[in-house]
Amino acid sequence: MSKIVILGAGIAGHTAASHLRRKLSKKHEVLVVSPNRNYQWVPSNIWVGIGRMKSEDVFFPLEPLYKRKGIGYKQAKVVSFHPEGDATEPKPFVKVEYLYGEMLGMQEKVTYDFLINATGPKLAFELTEGLNPGTNKAYSVCTYDHATHASAALHELINKIKSTQKKAKILIGTGHAKATCQGAAFEYILNVEKELVKFKVRDKVEITWISNENELGDFGMDGMLLSYQNQVMKSSEMVEMVFADRGIKWILGAGIQKVEDGKVSYENLEGEHLTEEFDFAMLIPAFSGHGFKAFDKANEDITAKLFKGFMIVDADYSPKPYEEWSVQDWPETYQNPSYNNIFAPGIAFAPPHSISKPRKSKNGTEIFPAPPRTGMPSGITAKLVADNIIDTINGAKTLHHKGSMGNMGAACIASAGYGLSKGSGISITTFPIVPDYNKYPETHGRELKKTFGDIGLAGHWLKLSLHYAFIYKAKMKPFWWLIPE
Amino acid sequence: MTQKISKQEHAKMKNPIIQFFKFIYLSLKIMRIVAGGHGGTRP
């Protein structure tokens, strides 16, 4: 009998738990430890952020589902990792602290045979002075709560414009010099623009995209060459075309350093210190690790064996210049090299380096996007980790399931406006996610047949279909496993 | 120079019949890319 503990119940953690429970017999224990009570389908938060979906449409409670399916669940946060046990507990364990119910505030040692760290990122708002969702007229759509507040503020502004006929400024993009998740901000800006048109106030609002990207359409993936209709286009050209069509201005290479009431201060790649004013902003924060600590059997600090901000896995972390980066640097099994029963799929693993070319301002400030790791790779990597654990339990000596982001495709169905007949979406696929410049030297590291873009109403229908399909899958309804990650 | 989306392209992007067939085409194409497998990169 084996006990598998999964930390986190986001896309990666929940995917791993679901597959483990389905494929392992009941004599094996699957236990999820998560500080969150609900599973949320994060990609739909942008629709909550414009008021077209309620927060209840994008989440459901985990405990009843886990109870029905035979998955253990503790609403608790991890305090520390003890992969060798300690003086009193011979088995490896994580120390957790309960966040709800009768056990609130109590700590417990949760032992395991296998540990999946799927704790995702910490939303590090504190890394940008004054950036705190709901203050200084700046909002976030990173969680359904944040998105609900963003929607209320956006509609308050729309009502104000309608009643006063005064002009307003909206600023959307990244709130830190090394933030990632440009895709979510990109979707949000297009949805906000569409809502302003719907409420007939578009002509009163100046909308500006602000981002740490060097070029539009970088998305933290070094941009891409893609097929669009009958031509080959750079993602920068495609995004520029869309922004020009919607009358959206843009500021690039901007590392926001401070947010005050209706004003951001930023440094650009030229080393200039500039400001931009706004009446409503949605700024994606930096992501960071959770600052976990790890200890060995003798209670000595071994954090460096497990963490490098995020969790250390089978990547090549040796420092080298951009020109020497290779697709082979990226992990394949997400296994910690020091403890082979610990894995970190999804966003919890430490990337070997960024995907976009690192850039510094003339003052030496690093301004470039961190690598994105969205829902699709999170689900795929979680499933392969679950499959490897199952194989190991069944006696396999090596890990057969591999999934490098350098040999994995991804689809980004970016909503560009909500509405069954008037909606729009930008469908982009890329293969591989991390460009392989040796394999595809002529096409910016990507296979053109599998890297394409399309704009239109079908994109909205696709995004909406995915919303329902993935919530169905997450609820583990009949034949859920037939839906790919 | 920024490429523009023409009025004709706009009309196609909004046409529900064209978009219905595009929806089917994109679903299959995306499924092929995403479910087409993944693997390692190291020799």
Q: Which residues of A touch B20 (CB under 8 A)?
A: 458
Distance of residue A460 Cα from the nearest chain B Cα, in angstroms: 9
Q: Which residues of B touch A403 (CB under 8 A)?
A: 38-40
- For residue B24, the model assigns a pLDDT of 95
Is 0.90 topped by the overall pTM?
A: yes
What A392-401 contacts at long range (C-beta under 8 Å, 24+ apart), as own/partner pairs, is A392/A114, A393/A2, A393/A24, A393/A28, A393/A114, A399/A333, A399/A335, A401/A333
> What is the rounded CA–CA span in Å between residue A101 and residue A108?
14
Q: Does B28 touch chain A (CB under 8 A)?
A: no
Cβ–Cβ below 8 Å for A431 and B33: yes
A99-113 pLDDT, tens digit each: 988 888 899 999 999
pLDDT band (50, 70, 90) for residue B30: confident
Report which of A240, A248, A112 is spatially closest to residue A189, judged by C-alpha positions: A248
- Interface A–B counts its CB contacts (< 8 A) at 97
Residues 7-26 of B with CB under 8 A from A: 12-16, 18-20, 22-23, 26
Q: Which residues of A touch B12 (CB under 8 A)?
A: 456
Cβ–Cβ below 8 Å for B30 and A327: no
Average pLDDT value for residue range A433-446: 92
Angle between helices A182-198 and A235-246 (to 10 degrees): 20
CB A182 within 8 A of CB A214: no
Cβ–Cβ below 8 Å for B22 and A456: yes
- For residue A143, the model assigns a pLDDT of 94
pLDDT band (50, 70, 90) for residue A372: confident
**Among partner residues B14, B26, B34, which is closest to A409 by beta-carbon distance?**
B34
Cβ–Cβ below 8 Å for B26 and A459: yes
Residue B1 has pLDDT above 90, yes or no: no
- For residue A56, the model assigns a pLDDT of 95
What six digits make up the tokens of A62?
């985990």
Closest Cα in chain A to B12: A456
- For residue A323, the model assigns a pLDDT of 87
Q: What is the ipTM of this complex?
A: 0.95
**Among partner residues B27, B35, B39, which is closest to A407 by beta-carbon distance?**
B39
Q: Which residues of A touch B14 (CB under 8 A)?
A: 422, 424, 456-457
A226: left (phi over 0), alpha (psi -120 to 50) or beta: beta
A380: left (phi over 0), alpha (psi -120 to 50) or beta: alpha
Kindly report the backbone phi and psi dihedral angles of residue A196, in degrees, each rounded to the nearest multiple of 5, phi listed first.
Answer: -65, -35
Q: Which residues of A touch B15 (CB under 8 A)?
A: 457
Residues 208-237 of A with CB under 8 A from B: 233, 237
Q: Which residues of B touch A429 (CB under 8 A)?
A: 29-30, 33-34
